[in-house]
Structure formats: C-alpha cells, structure tokens
Amino acid sequence: MTEFRLPAATQIGHTHLQVADLERARHFYKELVGFKEISRNRETAVLSATGKFPAHILLTARADAKPKPPRTTGLYHIAIRFPNRRELARVFRRLIENGWPFQGFADHLVSEALYLADPDNNGVELYTDRPREQWRWRNGAVEMATDPLDVEALLREVEKDTAPWEGVHPGADIGHVHLHVSDLQKAEAFYHGVLGFDVTQRSYPGALFVSAGGYHHHVGLNIWAGKGAPPPPPNAVGLLSFSINLPDLGTLQILKERLRAADFSFEDRSTSVGQSTILTRDQDGNGVEIMMVK
C-alpha cells in the first residue's frame, strides 16, 4: 500500500461511551466536569463544551451493561483537553470540592495531566498542552515523560478566582484517546499504515503514539493489558467508538479506498444534513468513526 499522511488539520472529534446508568454518567460529565447537554433521550445523552454540535461526548446506557473485564482491549482513557492551565485548574478545583477521587498526576513535558475514572471506571485524563514551541523533538520523535506534576502550583492558578461555576470552557475538546490493544505491530499497521497517522513516539515500554499535523499524539496505543489480550464482551461498559474529524471530503474518499484495499470493512453513516461519516473497526474491534462535517 502506498504511503499516505493525514492532513495536518485532522483532529479527534468525540468519544462514544457505553455506560451502565445514564443519569450517573451524565451527572459526572455534565454537572461535575461541566460539559453542556445538546440532546438526550431515554438511552443516550449528547454533550459538548458549547452545548451545540459538534459533540464531544456521547453516553449510551445499556440495561445489561457489566464492568469491563481486566486485561481486555478497549479504552484505556479518553483525554479532555483544556485551552490553558487556568481552565484545567478550574475543573480540578471543582472535582476536589465535590470529593471526586484522582488516580494520578503527571507532567508529560508536552502537557500537564490529571488522571481519574468516571462512574463506570472508564479512564479519564484532563490535560492542557504546553505551547508547541516548548515541545522537543529528537530524530522525529517527540520527547515525553511521566514526571511529577506540581499540583499546588496548578491550583494557585485559581486561588483568587471567585467567578461562579458555569461549566467547562467552550474551547475544551477531546485531545486524544488511548487504547488497550492486543498487538502493537498490528495497531501500527492500521493507524499508521492504513489511516495515515504519523508515529510520534515509540520509546515508552509497550506503547505507541500516533498523530497528524505534528501533534504529540491523537491516539495512544498500548499492550499493558497483555499482548494478545481479548476484546471485552459486547455488554461491557467502555468505548463504543471515537471519531476522527477530517477537514475535507477528498480525504474521506481516500480513506475509504485504503480501508477496502487493506480488507477493513466499513459502514457508511452519512446523513442528508451535510455529515459524511463511515464507521470502521480497528484490528481489535474498536469502533472508529471517520467523518467530515460541513
């Protein structure tokens, strides 16, 4: 297959999660983290940072949903990106005030990150990027680390902030997704070889990071659940799909051809209101929506 690179403007769009209790999940993402509701029915809530489309988080409840078994493929975490340290600190303070537990904190050199789990134990990263001019690259790989985060310094960003809570900043979005996979070579063949993401980092043990446009990573891939790990059952909570948002229809057509050539099937989910979308699945069955929205 010929080499192909995604356009620099490619972004992660939304994540679609299967949950056990819609109200419980909705309370976390809407009332605590601060996303705004676009729409809701008995089974699904659609949220975004602005309360308008495009969506950032979709939550769908399943009556027989069960916890995701350990050592299976699927979601490691979704990563919610904030436009600056102050906005990250505001949500951090909000969660602390509501007694939500955190699992870790990290300075990744390219970003500052907080780690926690949602009510269904889906991993969640809250982060803000450092300016791109501060990122360091060596031999085509971005330098990242997992250093201690100065949590006190982060909270000082809002120690004099008395503004009432009005939810997440409208500039927040889904910066990346991180997946458990069964085999890194097969994952690289799909995300790099077929879809056209660039490999940006492969020095982390058992992990691979890929992106478009020189970003540190749009998709993280790891075998920390075990090489050869099986997929979770269909009724497990976790990731149903995530979207890759493209800047033009021509790229979507190219990706259709590349998926066919690599024997990856896809479902056309385009609508009559200007949204061109296909749903495919990676080597482990993770749902990947590839879309261009006018």
49 occurs within a structural domain:
yes
290 occurs within a structural domain:
no
Q: What is the CATH number of the domain that holds 209?
A: 3.10.180.10
Q: The whole model's pTM is what?
A: 0.98
63 vs 14: CA distance, rounded Å: 23
Tell me 98's DSSP state.
T
259 occurs within a structural domain:
no
Q: Which residues contact 63 (CB under 8 A, 6 or more apart)?
A: none
285 occurs within a structural domain:
no
Tokens of 56: 């950032």
262 occurs within a structural domain:
no
* Count of domains for the chain: 1
Cis peptide before 131 (omega within 30 of 0): no
Residue 63, CA atoms < 13 Å, CB-side half-sphere: 1
228 occurs within a structural domain:
yes
280 occurs within a structural domain:
no
2 occurs within a structural domain:
no
Q: 95 lies in which domain range?
A: 11-185+193-240
The per-residue pLDDT string of the chain (294 residues; one tens digit each, 9 = 90 and over) reads 899 999 999 999 999 999 999 999 999 999 999 999 999 999 999 999 999 999 999 999 999 999 999 999 999 999 999 999 999 999 999 999 999 999 999 999 999 999 999 999 999 999 999 999 999 999 999 999 999 999 999 999 999 999 999 999 999 999 999 999 999 999 999 999 999 999 999 999 999 999 999 999 999 999 999 999 999 999 999 999 999 999 999 999 999 999 999 999 999 988 756 679 999 999 999 999 999 976
